[in-house]
Amino acid sequence: MCGISGGTRFNSYEALNSKTLFKMLDSIRYRGPDECGMYQAKEALLGSVRLSIIDIKSGQQPLSNQKGDIWIAYNGEVFNYVELREELINKGYTFKTHSDTEVIVLLYEEYGIDFLKKLNGQFAISIWDKRKKELILARDRMGIRPLFYTMHNNELLYASEIKAFLQHPDINLKLSAKSLSQIFTFWTTISPDTAFENVFQLPPGSYMIYSKNKFEIKSYWNLEFAAENQYNNISFEEAVEEFEHILKDSVKIRLRADVPVAAYLSGGLDSTVSTSLIREVVPNMLQTFSIGFEDADYDESYYQDLASGYFGTKHTGFKIKNEEIAELFPEVVWHSEMPLLRTSPVPMYALSRKVREKNIKVVITGEGADELLGGYNIFKEAKIRHFWAREPKSKLRPLLLKKLYPYIPQIQNASAQTLRFFFAYKLGETNSPVYSHLLRWNNGNHIKKYFSDDLVQNLNGYTPVNELIDKINGKFDNYDYLGKAQWLEMSIFMSGYLLSSQGDRMGMANSIEGRYPFLDHRLIEFCSKINPEYKLHGLNEKYLMKKMAEKRIPDEILKRSKQAYRAPIQNSFLTKQASVYMNEVFDEKKLKENGLFNPGLSKKLLDKFKSGEKTSEVDNMALTAIISTTILKDLFENKKGKIKTNDLGECRLINDI
């Protein structure tokens, strides 16, 4: 795993030089604290800071092919590099290292841009092709690894993280009003937008080719679901068998490393299943890590201990206090590089820090299973709302929603009329391609009421949901209700938020690489084509995997109700640790100067929390949004606080001018 940065300089030597590139790499050195390397040609520079995991001795980057006319700097892992290496050897290629990096550059030499279709992994790749004078950027299918770019004086700059651009003397960042509206709706932006104006992300499953006369971005892979009633024609038993076969192999190849590999163990079904498969592949002592909460409403320590005891792992579990969540929040915003509506990334940051303290660099984690197999309540809500919409006046059908939230007393005690008030938003619009998410996204409208008048005027009636529907442009009209919901969840929320703010960023902030067996593209393609009843059977989520997991994991975990991962908000931001920045964030003068939020309404929201008055989920999201956006503006736009460089020591420079 690494951090990469670089760019082109077809028109000017001043736009990017080795000194500037060094500073850009230095700003993300935590992504790769082991080594630093730069390649400098007349028209381009590539740079890498390396977290050495495979071929520690000879896998330094940037690296070239034998002829020295193709150079690569890349962030990630290609898990099937062993098989691809053999394929290339059979074609007559020789290798000077045992790294997956060299496999990639030789694959490109052999197959051109089609090499991407052969990779099974998580990656952000930069390649300089001297022969064609082209810079190639590419990103893995699901966007597990980040890759950003911006333009300056007709030159392209790219980096693993946006903060690297702050080291360029001529680049200033500004929050985008349009992006804020998207984030407060979807929790993330619509690719390729980021939180900042004129800074973009390369979309998942895409590549870019940039030269003096060419700038093109194309997809090499797309997430697609089977059309309704055109599912893979296999029985449920066959589906369970095939799912198990692919998942086992996915786990096996993700254990490839020249350093120890550990696992996160949350106490839920997904991480417990992946841990069980790791033990089947590697029966020796496995290290597992988990985090709990001092706040009992969020804590799953009991199930974490149950799982670790069942598998006999060497387990490290600890609990995070509300005060620690408050204290770490600004640091987490710095690494997330976008406004947050939840405090959930903070415990993940603390967990990866604990893993690093134990000298572990790689962890297996269970993200992706909920999206693949209908695990979230949003999928069940869509199913119930579709059923309810057939008889919208029914007093019984809305009561089904109680089955989804056994841990929320307000819902358990609610009448049908109360449930209608909360869940009937646009109930009859079942033909909408985004029907499953309309209810969740409507929360954003309640948060946006805190926007300042200037920001509202700047948005000029812009509606993110309408833009998304336009981009979808009927592409999945033939999907069933679950396929549509899964596409939205995987393409927007998972890629833009879950794998970023709770995944890559929180791990790499502490030099930890996360690996995701459930996000193997073979498993995604298989699950997207099977009968939806195999995934969401009635209201029984992840049905197929539960059948596979029988007698493999503790029954108490297998049969427990789904509990969403959450972290305290109100109880964290009302601690003394938060008061240091809370007083500044909600200072009336500060709010006016920033011009993002209405000072009066923002102060009224804070007073509501301080008074002990009952607050809603939307209130908590709004509070978090105001705090995180203000911190982000200070750090990236006003350049106050966190921006600094460190002493990288020596950085190997390959001069090819």
Residue 135 shares a structural domain with residue 237: no
DSSP 160-210: SSGGGGGGSTT----B-HHHHHHHHHHSSPPTTB-SBTTEEEPPTTEEEEE
Q: How far is it, in rounded angstroms, from Cα 241 to Cα 338? A: 41
Element housing 128 (H / E) = strand 121-129
Is the four-CA dihedral 19, 21, 27, 28 of positive or negative sign?
negative
Burial class (CB in 10 A: 0-12, 13-18, 19+), 135: buried
> Any idea what the Cα angle at residue 155 is, between residues 154 and 156, rounded to 5°?
125
Type of residue found at 7:
G
Q: What is the pLDDT of residue 418?
A: 87
Q: How far is it, in rounded angstroms, from Cα 541 to Cα 377? A: 9
Residue 179 shares a structural domain with residue 194: yes
Pick from 191, 221, 251: which residue ends a domain? 221
The segments of the chain whose pLDDT lies below 50 read none
Pick from 221, 245, 260: which residue ends a domain? 221
Residue 209 shares a structural domain with residue 233: no
Structure tokens at 468: 């998304």
Pick from 171, 192, 221: which residue ends a domain? 221
Q: 27: number of CA atoms within 13 Å, CB side?
A: 22
Q: What is the pLDDT of residue 484?
A: 97
Q: Is 540 helix (H, G, I), strand (E, B) or coil?
A: strand
Token look-up 């034998």 returns 66
In a domain, 609, yes or no: no
Q: How far is it, in rounded angstroms, from Cα 263 to Cα 518? A: 14
Pair 448, 597: CB distance under 8 Å: no
Report in angstroms the alpha-carbon separations of 361 from 30, 150, 310, 326.
12, 30, 25, 26
Q: How far is it, in rounded angstroms, from Cα 592 to Cα 630? A: 11
CATH of residue 89: 3.60.20.10
Q: CA 159 from chain center: how many Å?
A: 16
Q: What is the pLDDT of residue 1?
A: 62
Type of residue found at 207:
Y
Residue 544 shares a structural domain with residue 529: yes
Element housing 545 (H / E) = helix 543-549
Type of residue found at 545:
M
Of 89, 54, 84, 75, the C-alpha closest to 256 is 54
Type of residue found at 200:
F
Residue 214: how many CB atoms within 10 A of its CB? 12
Q: How far is it, in rounded angstroms, from Cα 491 to Cα 495? A: 6
Q: How far is it, in rounded angstroms, from Cα 555 to Cα 218? A: 46
Of 390, 385, 421, 422, the C-alpha closest to 400 is 385
2 is catalytic: yes
Q: What is the pLDDT of residue 646?
A: 56
Residue 102 shares a structural domain with residue 135: yes
Q: What is the pLDDT of residue 313?
A: 95
Residues in the chain: 657
Q: How far is it, in rounded angstroms, from Cα 42 to Cα 483? A: 48
Q: How far is it, in rounded angstroms, from Cα 464 to Cα 459? A: 10
Residue 613: how many CB atoms within 10 A of its CB? 9
Q: Provide the whole-model pTM.
A: 0.96
Structure tokens at 567: 């972290």
Q: What is the pLDDT of residue 415?
A: 87
Q: How far is it, in rounded angstroms, from Cα 270 to Cα 274? A: 6
In a domain, 459, yes or no: no
- The backbone torsions φ and ψ at residue 70, rounded to the nearest 5 degrees and listed phi first, read -135, 125
DSSP 520-547: -HHHHHHHTTS-HHHHSBTTBTTHHHHH
Q: CA 470 from chain center: how many Å?
A: 24
pLDDT above 70 coverage of the chain, percent: 98
In a domain, 647, yes or no: no
In a domain, 570, yes or no: no
Q: What is the pLDDT of residue 285?
A: 75
Pair 362, 260: CB distance under 8 Å: yes
Residue 172 shares a structural domain with residue 233: no
In a domain, 596, yes or no: no
Q: What is the pLDDT of residue 12?
A: 73
In a domain, 588, yes or no: no
Residue 216 shares a structural domain with residue 253: no
Q: How far is it, in rounded angstroms, from Cα 175 to Cα 195? A: 6
Structure tokens at 234: 């296999």
pLDDT in tens, 169-218: 989 999 999 999 999 999 999 999 999 999 999 999 999 999 999 999 99
Measured over all CA atoms, what is the biggest interatomic distance in the chain, rounded to whole angstroms? 75
In a domain, 652, yes or no: no
Q: What is the pLDDT of residue 644?
A: 59
Enumerate the H helices of 29-118 as residue ranges: 81-90, 100-111
Residue 432 shares a structural domain with residue 515: yes
Check residue 479 and report its DSSP letter.
B
Element housing 483 (H / E) = helix 481-488
In sequence order, the β-bridge partners of residue 574 are none
Q: How many domains, the chain? A: 2
Residue 309 shares a structural domain with residue 246: yes
Pair 124, 145: CB distance under 8 Å: yes
Q: How far is it, in rounded angstroms, from Cα 115 to Cα 123? A: 13
Q: 582: number of CA atoms within 13 Å, CB side?
A: 20
Check residue 262 and report its DSSP letter.
E
Q: Is 562 helix (H, G, I), strand (E, B) or coil?
A: coil
Structure tokens at 422: 């909360």
Residue 425 shares a structural domain with residue 514: yes
Residues spanned by the domain of 322: 223-439+476-564
Report in angstroms the alpha-carbon separations of 301 from 261, 270, 320, 338, 559.
22, 15, 11, 30, 17
Of 506, 204, 562, 631, the C-alpha closest to 378 is 562
- CA-CA-CA-CA dihedral for 251, 254, 259, 260, to nearest 10: -20
Residue 142 shares a structural domain with residue 263: no
In a domain, 180, yes or no: yes
Check residue 395 and report its DSSP letter.
S
Q: How far is it, in rounded angstroms, from Cα 496 to Cα 190? A: 8
Q: How far is it, in rounded angstroms, from Cα 386 to Cα 314? A: 46
Residue 160 shares a structural domain with residue 241: no
Q: What is the pLDDT of residue 53?
A: 76
CATH of residue 531: 3.40.50.620
